[in-house]
Amino acid sequence: MQQLKERILHDGRCLPGGVLKVDGFVNHQMDAQLMHDMAAELVRRFHGVPVDKVFTIEASGIAPAIMVGWLLQCPVVFAKKKRPSTMHQPPLEARIRSFTKGVDTSIYVSREFLRRGERILFVDDFLANGSAARGILDLVCQAQARLVGMGFIIEKAFQHGGDALRREGIRVESLAVIDSLDDGIIRLRP
């Protein structure tokens, strides 16, 4: 997506430790038109793939997932990072590590919203080392649902999470791929 790549180069910032700051248009303040266009591109890339639900993790994945769900006309479910008191039955639970925050956390989803046999499309803002994606895969497996693909706004290829997922046969679509952030320079894959 050329529009996204140009925005990353113009407004994105490299922070120490391989962090790409895009919070001015992706995951803190959002450019609604860009979010719509990115969602439309993900829907185009997964055209013909039956999807029952779009799944993500709070909080940064919610906006792109809602746009994709709206365009696909299917429900959107997000894994919560804290178990709410309203989850009366034991929820599905997985552990993930946040790359940007550097902490391990549990994620939860109610069993009533992720069911056996459902075809699940995971949508998130970033793919780095793949921990969040693995947590989602764990939840999908626990529910005996079926993952049909994973769509990301930005993939940091130098962290190899996408490589590992693809080697396992998971369909991964990323709208922009960052090959390197070395020396504070954003190097996008053409």
Angle between helices 32-45 and 2-11 (to 10 degrees): 140
pLDDT level of residue 89 (50, 70, 90 thresholds): confident
Q: Is the pLDDT of residue 168 over 70?
A: yes
The pLDDT assigned to 86 comes to 79
The pLDDT assigned to 88 comes to 76
CATH class of 2-188: alpha beta
Percent of residues, the chain, with pLDDT higher than 70? 99
* Predicted TM-score (pTM) of this structure: 0.94
User: Which residues, at least 6 apart from 78, have a Cβ–Cβ distance to it below 8 Å?
Assistant: 55, 56, 57, 58, 61, 62, 65, 109
The pLDDT assigned to 100 comes to 66
